[in-house]
Structure 1
Amino acid sequence: MVSILVGLAAGVGLPVQTSVNARLRKQAGSPFRASFISFTVSLLFLLILLFITEGGLSLPWDRMFQEPFWIWGGGVCGVIFLTGNIMIFPKLGSVQTVVLPVMGQVLMGLVIDHFGWFCSDQTSLTALRAAGAVLVVTGVFIVSAAKSGGEASPSKQEAKTPGRFVWQALGVLIGMMISVQTAINGHVGQVMESPVRASVISFLVGVGLLFTACMIQLATQKGIEHRMVLKGPWWMWTGGVLGALYNLANVFLSHRIGTGMCVIILLVGSTTGGLLIDQAGLFEVRQQSITLRKAAGVAVMILGAVLIRLL
């Protein structure tokens, strides 16, 4: 029960992070630059937390180098998810940008559990667990369509996107990366004997990749505005802290409740948190009331989570 509450709380923080980082992007002038700033704040927060909890900043690198090569992939998966979302949103629209990655997350989470990939605990895929996964995706679709005014179908411009199927497949793929990241970071947490150490490793890789991406972007795209973040509300800097806490929850939960269940509990929390932000109009987000349809979508997600967890 404690694990589920931790997952729900971390999930609620995810849409807060998204809203905060959206404000940061306005000041940074580039999505990659904003993401680099957010990841750097996450890393600094985790290093402070590591110093407080461990009494130093040393990491057992010798253990990491004895593990399979994929143990370094957590940060890579996070950057792929971030970059992929930036790419598919203008191609597919808001609803599919939410629903397709969720499909990938849920599907890959159950597959990882079924086969025990990335040193995860093995949990067989049953018909009821599959039905629960379908309910979770259906609930996300209901909420996303309701938030976009019921326009579940793509716009005419989006429908004419060349290679639309490829973009849809990419949407599912980047969602799968989140489940892979959850499983990998969970194993790193066991190797490091600390969720904080595991999260530091993940964000070190992510910061390195995003720094490289920013340098390439600056060198190759002359039209990019090179302004620095100087002004803005204080809370726009907190997205990195929330991202670090979300990653810590992933590491903490994945080996306690399984990758698939971890992903789904975080999804339920993030969807609920997003609705609460819309209802209150927080962080400069356009205010939208929680409707019966949105509440029904969350209820369907919870029912799916119950099927997966209890049956």
Structure 2
Amino acid sequence: MYATIIAALSGVAMAFQGAVNAAASSAISLSVATFIVMAAGTVVSAVYMTLSGTTGNLALRNLAKAPWWAYTGGLVGPAITAAVAHAIERAGAVNATTGIILGQLGFAAVIDHLGWFGAEPIRFSPIKIAGIILIAVGGRILLAK
């Protein structure tokens, strides 16, 4: 339950971030807004790492513990930030977030089912498939004009 609450709160934060990034994008351009967001995130992450005492984990011997692909998530960060700001600016927060959630849910289901990226496989079941279909139908209803 705790993890679900944290996930829901991160969803609130993502909606906030997308909306303010869209406003920044409108004012100063998508690329500059994305750069500022990523730079601010780097600073906040460095402060958090320092305060939590985990800077020693940057040692090469520690970094080598994870597979190379585990570090590729940061490469898509700017693209995600820019895409979300662009989508919210053009389609509105609800429509953009609906598309985001449907995309996340679909790919997350594949990741779980196939056990990609070190995830423990969680096989599809008829009830999970029905849940995904219901969420997709709800998404379609939200996107209707």
Q: Where in structure 1 are there 5+ consecutive unaligned residues?
A: 1-91, 102-170, 219-223
Confirm whether residue 275 of structure 1 aligns to residue 105 of structure 2.
no
| Alignment match, 1:93 | 2
Confirm whether residue 184 of structure 1 aligns to residue 20 of structure 2.
yes
From 34, 41, 44, give the equivalent of 1:209.
44
Deviation at 1:244, TM superposition (A): 2.1
Name the count of aligned residue pairs.
Answer: 141
Question: Cα deviation per residue 1:166-210 (whole Å; 9 max; x = unaligned)?
Answer: xxxxx4xx43221111111111112123x2221111111111112
Confirm whether residue 230 of structure 1 aligns to residue 78 of structure 2.
no
- More contact order relative to length (CA 8 Å, sep ≥ 6): 1
| Alignment match, 1:258 | 92
| Alignment match, 2:124 | 290
CA distance, structure 1, for counterparts of residue 55 and residue 88 of structure 2: 40
CA distance, structure 1, for counterparts of residue 34 and residue 94 of structure 2: 19
RMSD of Structure 2 on Structure 1 (CA) = 1.9
CA distance, structure 2, for counterparts of residue 230 and residue 96 of structure 1: 30
Higher helix proportion, which one? Answer: 2
CA distance, structure 1, for counterparts of residue 47 and residue 6 of structure 2: 25
| Alignment match, 1:200 | 35
191 and 235 in structure 1: CA distance in 2 versus 1, 3 angstrom threshold: same
Deviation at 1:242, TM superposition (A): 2.0
Amino acid at match of 2:21: N
307 and 230 in structure 1: CA distance in 2 versus 1, 3 angstrom threshold: closer
TM-score (norm 1): 0.42
CA distance, structure 1, for counterparts of residue 95 and residue 74 of structure 2: 25
CA distance, structure 2, for counterparts of residue 196 and residue 298 of structure 1: 34
Mapped contact 2:25–2:33 kept (Cα < 8 A): yes
Question: Cα deviation per residue 1:105-144 (whole Å; 9 max; x = unaligned)?
Answer: xxxxxxxxxxxxxxxxxxxxxxxxxxxxxxxxxxxxxxxx
Deviation at 1:96, TM superposition (A): 4.1
Amino acid at match of 2:14: I
TM-score (norm 2): 0.85
Deviation at 1:260, TM superposition (A): 1.4
User: Larger radius of gyration, structure 1 or 2?
Assistant: 1
CA distance, structure 1, for counterparts of residue 15 and residue 138 of structure 2: 17
178 and 230 in structure 1: CA distance in 2 versus 1, 3 angstrom threshold: closer
Q: Percent identity?
A: 19
Amino acid at match of 1:283: F
| Alignment match, 2:135 | 301
Amino acid at match of 1:307: I
